[in-house]
Amino acid sequence: MATIPLQEPKYQGSQGPVFFAAGFRPFFLMAAVQAAIMLPLWLAVFFGIVPMAEGWNPVAWHAHAMVFGFAGAAIGGFLLTAVPNWTSSHHVSGKPLMVLFMVWLAGRLAVGLAGHLPPIMVAVLDLGYLPLLAALLAKPLVAAKKWRNIAFLPILAVMWLADLCVHLEVLTGRDTAMKGIYLGLFVVLLMIVIVGGRIIPSFTQNWLRMQGQPVEMEPVAWMEKGGAAGSLILAALAQLIIPSSPLAGALALVAAAVHGYRLSRWHGAKTFSNPILAVLHVGYFWMVAGFALLGLAAFLPGLPASAAVHALTAGSVGTMVIGVMSRAALGHSGRPLQLAPATVLAYGLISLGALLRVAAPIIPGAMTVLTLAGGLAWTGGWVVYAVVYFPICALPRADGRPG
C-alpha cells in the first residue's frame, strides 16, 4: 500500500525512556486508556451501580472526563507532534514531557476521585495541564514566528477557561459547569475545523494522485479565510447564550450547511478503499450531522438536543481523534500507513457506538438498551486501539531512528 510521506521533526537523541521520546507516545495511548476506563465508569454511575461524587453534576463529571481528559490528551499529543513540524524545532521529550504527562495524569486521577479529595485540590491539579502544554508550545511557535499557528495558544486558553467554569460550580455552587462543558466542546470542534481543513483535503488529494486519480480541490476563499470557523463560532455562541432558541437552531443549521458543503468538495466517496483516510471524512461528517441535529432540535420538540451532543462528541470528536492518532502514531514511529485489521474494527466500533448513543434519546423505549450497547461498542473501539497501539507507542521506532 502506498504511503503519504510525513515530514519528520528534529529529535534531540536519547532523553530517557522511549515512551517519553515524543508527545504522541504517552498522550495518544493514554487518551485511549482514559476513554476505555471512564466511559464504563460513567455507565456504572448512569445505571446506579456506582454513586456519583458529591458536589458534581453527574452529566458534567462524565462530559468533563471526555472533553478535558480524553480530548485534552489527544490535543496535547497532536500539538506536541505537529508544532516541531511547523517550526523545524526539537520535539518536547524526556523530563519536560514526563512532567507534562504527570500533570495531566494527576488531573485525571483527581477528577476520578472527586468527592474523596477537597474540591480546591481537584481544581488545582486538573487546571495545571493546559497552561503547561501552552507554555511548552509557545517558545518554538514564537521563535519561529509561526503566527498562523500561534492561534492555537489562545484556543488552549479558552479551553482552560472552560475547564475553570466546571470547577467553579463545584467550588461556589453557581450554575457554570455545563456552560464550561459546552464551551470546551466547541473549542475542540473548532480545532477539528482548523486541523481537518488542512489535513483532510491535503491527504486525500495526495493519495488520489498516487492512485492515478488526480483531483483538484480549489479552496473556497470565503470559507477557508474565516467562514468555516466563523459559522461554528456563531453557532457555538448562540448555544451558549440562548440555547435551544430559534436563532441558535438556525445558526446551527447554517454551520451544518457550511461544513457539509466544505466536506462535499473533498471527494470523500473516493477514499473508502483506504480506511485510514476515509475515517477522517467520516469524523468530519459526524460534525455536520451533529450541527444539523442541534439545529433541528430547536424546532422539533420530539428531537432531544442530547442526540446532537453525542453526534458531536462520541461521533465527531471520537472518530476524528482515533483517525488522527492512528495515522500520526504510525507515521511518527517509522511505520507505513497501513492499518491492522483490528484498527479498522476499532473505527467501526467508535462510529457504531456513536450511532447507538445518538439513537438512544430519540427512541425512549429503547434508551436503556441503546445507551448500554452504544457505550460498550464505543469503549470496545478504544480497548482495541490501546491494545494495537501499545507497542507502537511504547517501543522504539521501526526504522531505528530516534523518537
The whole-angstrom separation of Cα 221 and Cα 251 is 21
- Measured at the CA of 9, the angle between CA 8 and CA 12, to 5 degrees, comes to 130
The whole-angstrom separation of Cα 208 and Cα 65 is 38
Per-residue pLDDT at 11: 54
DSSP string, 194-234: HHHHHHHHHHHHHHHHHTT--------HHIIIIIHHHHHHH
Q: Are 224 and 266 in contact (CB under 8 A)?
A: no
Q: Are 333 and 398 in contact (CB under 8 A)?
A: yes
Is 309 among the domain residues? yes
The whole-angstrom separation of Cα 322 and Cα 192 is 12
Per-residue pLDDT at 13: 52
- Listed as own residue / partner, the contacts of 213-220 with beta carbons closer than 8 Å and 24 or more positions apart are 213/270, 215/267, 215/270, 217/265, 217/266, 217/267, 220/261, 220/262, 220/265
Is 52 among the domain residues? yes
Is 10 among the domain residues? no
Is 221 among the domain residues? yes
Neighbouring C-beta atoms of residue 357, cutoff 10 Å: 25
Is 401 among the domain residues? no
Per-residue pLDDT at 1: 30
Record the cell numbers describing residue 86, joined without a space. Answer: 511547523
pLDDT tens over the chain, length 403 residues = 333 344 555 555 556 789 999 999 999 999 999 999 999 999 999 999 988 888 899 999 999 999 999 999 999 999 999 999 888 888 899 999 999 999 999 999 999 998 889 999 999 999 999 999 999 999 999 988 888 899 999 999 999 999 999 999 999 999 999 999 999 999 999 999 999 999 999 999 999 999 999 888 888 999 999 999 999 999 999 999 999 999 999 999 999 999 999 999 999 999 999 999 999 999 999 999 999 999 999 999 999 999 999 999 999 999 999 999 999 999 999 999 999 999 999 999 999 999 999 999 999 899 999 999 999 999 999 999 999 999 999 999 988 887 7
SS3 399: coil
Is 74 among the domain residues? yes
SS3 53: coil
- Side chain identity at residue 371, one-letter code: T
Is the model's pTM score more than 0.75? yes
SS3 267: coil
SS3 48: coil
How many domains are there within the chain? 1
Per-residue pLDDT at 90: 83
DSSP 8-state symbol, 19: G
Bridge partners of residue 10, in order along the sequence: 90
Is 6 among the domain residues? no
The number of angstroms, rounded, from the C-alpha of 216 to the middle of its chain's C-alpha atoms is 28
The CATH number linked to 24 is: 1.20.210.10
Which residues span the domain enclosing 143? 19-394
Per-residue pLDDT at 219: 87
Is 177 among the domain residues? yes
The whole-angstrom separation of Cα 208 and Cα 224 is 22
